[in-house]
Each structure stands twice: as structure tokens, then as C-alpha cells.
Structure 1
């Protein structure tokens, strides 16, 4: 077999592989992503407020400091606002060793803040997640904050419980992990409820 036939064969194989990986596969994934029950996730699970403004993604944790909001899991990630108003940041943990004085200091500070708010510290209210992007906290962590949020919003705890139940997500495939509450969805639902109550007065 001549060298020219080998070169021709290599070019054809390269072209076929390029066609499969650069054209057909991406178009197939794009098509699958537009299936109705996947479309929201494929587009980033963006959450909009009542004005149609982007307030975040249901897939990415955010920091809430006001007493009116349930606090999310601590994160080593700090987001800045880019030119388009979209959060930017890099996923990852702090990589601090368990013996690190800096890590110990941060944990003590978080525990003291919770103690000042009369909240029993739970692991997910003190320790950061591995990715730094976890949008969920445990049901126990939410219940620990219930009284504080209810006082700040001038509501009874039992008026907030239906929202907690609504935004509690079960185990993945029914067996993996633990149930968790999506903090952004919960906090926004409470804001929306407050807005509707004010409109009805």
C-alpha cells in the first residue's frame, strides 16, 4: 500500500471523527437538552424575581445574611458581579488541613455567630462543602433557623413550614444522599409570599 493511500485513509478517518465529535454529538446533546423536563437544568436553572431579573441559579449556593432569610451553607467561594451581571467564581474547597489554625478560627467564628442567633450548630451550617457551590442544607439546619426567620418576618413558624416542605428535595434516585432544602428557592418563595400579602392589604 502506497504512502498516498495511507495519507488518504488518515484524512478520511480524521474527517469522520471530526464530524462525529464536533458536529453530530454536540447537536445531539443540544437536542436532548431542549426536552421540556431537562430544558430548565440545561439553561442553568436560573431563578428570576417578580420583575424578571436574575437573582441566581437554583444549582449554586448563595450567601444570605439578613435575619429574614435562611442562611445557606458556608462557602470558601466569593462571587463577584461580571460585566453581564452574572456571578463568576471558581468551584473548590479551601484545601486547609484539619490542623490548620485558619480553618479552626473560621469554624469557631461560624459557631459563635450561630450561638448569638440561638441556633444549634449543625455540620452544614459550620463546614463548607467540597465544591463550595452546594445550594442545599439539611432539614435539621433549616428547622434550627425557623424561629429566627419567623420572628424577622413577623410570621408564625407553622406558616413557614409549608414552604420548607415544598422546597425539600428527596434523595437522588430515592437512595443516594440525604433530603435537603434548596435555600435560594425557599428564601425567594418567602419574599414572594410577603409581596403578595402586602398587595392584598
Structure 2
């Protein structure tokens, strides 16, 4: 029995070191060389202090800012350590109540807006952390943001256009806008 135990433990330790230490360190090193910003979390700094990441959504509720896609993480929204979907099906009353509350909040913030409300403003993404909204969702909010900031609507639309990203690789997904980048651009445009 002991003749089998020693090679098994040796193999276990070697594989643990290779897959648990060497491989992660090598991948981290390669990522830092090839994609330094992404490997560091794609952090955005303002006045030398990090204010967020381009990869994780943030909660905005002030009418003068574009609002992010709702978060499905709990106990607090946009919690990267709790990334997951809500797993609530379309017939679940909790999902229906959450959507009604989100629609009401958007209508209360912009009562004169009778445009069709984009779905990504009331439904969370699969991860619950999506930092992007559709261009339609940004356009839906443009009037409210322009009025709250007392800036021309055309200027807000120009900022949306400047910060719009096309589909990934030109064909995957829809055009989108990073909410944090857009809101920081709004602040810088003052």
C-alpha cells in the first residue's frame, strides 16, 4: 500500500503546483503583458482615484446621470463577488414586481417621456453586472439628463454618439454605451 501512496501523493503535489500555482501565474503574467488595462480591472481614475471599472456596472439614480441596467446581485447591487442572474422566470411574481418598480421609477424621473421603454432598463443582465446599456436606452434617457443638467439635448446626443461602441468584432451583439464612461464624459463637459 505504501508503494502506491508515495507516487500518488507526488503526482498530486506536482499537478497541484502546476495547475494551482504555475499556470495561474503564467496566465496572469501573459495577460498583464498583452492586455495591461484589462488585467488590472479596466479601472477608471478621476483626480488620481479609482471611480469604477469599465467592466462592472454601477448604480446611478440621480436624474442628471444615465442609469445603468438593473443589477441582479444581492445583497447589494453591482456586487462583483455575487455575480449571478436572478433566476426568476417570466411568471414569477417577484420579477413582475421588480419590473413594475423599475418602470415606475423611470416614469417618475421623466414623466413626460412617452417613448417605448427599452427592455435593458427594466431587466437585469445574466451576470447582473453589465456596464453597458443599448444606444436606445441611452437615447430614452437623454431628455431627462439634458433637462436635469440644463444642457442642450443635441449635446447629450453627441456625447452618446461619441461613447457608442459597435458590435463586438463588427457582428456580435448590438451597439452599446458604457454608462460609467458616458457619465464621466457628462461631468467633464460642464
TM-score w.r.t. structure 2 length?
0.83
Contact 1:47–1:56, Cα closer than 8 Å, also in 2: yes
Residues 97-143 of structure 1: CA deviation (Å, up to 9, x unaligned): 32222322222222233233134311011111121101110001101
Contact 1:92–1:131, Cα closer than 8 Å, also in 2: yes
Contact 2:135–2:164, Cα closer than 8 Å, also in 1: yes
Q: Distance in 2 between matches of 1:10 and 1:100?
A: 50
The reply on whether 1:96 has 2:93 as its aligned counterpart is no
Q: Distance in 2 between matches of 1:103 and 1:19?
A: 45
The reply on whether 1:54 has 2:50 as its aligned counterpart is yes
TM-score w.r.t. structure 1 length?
0.79
Q: Distance in 1 between matches of 2:158 and 2:167?
A: 19
Q: Distance in 1 between matches of 2:75 and 2:80?
A: 6
SS at match of 1:77: coil
Show the counterpart of 1:192. 188
Change beyond 3 A, Cα 1:102–1:21: closer
Over the aligned positions, Cα root-mean-square deviation in angstroms equals: 2.6
SS at match of 1:48: strand
* Number of matched pairs: 185
Unpaired segments of 5 or more residues in structure 1? 81-86, 195-201
Contact 1:78–1:89, Cα closer than 8 Å, also in 2: no
After TM superposition, give the deviation of residue 16 of structure 1 in Å: 3.9
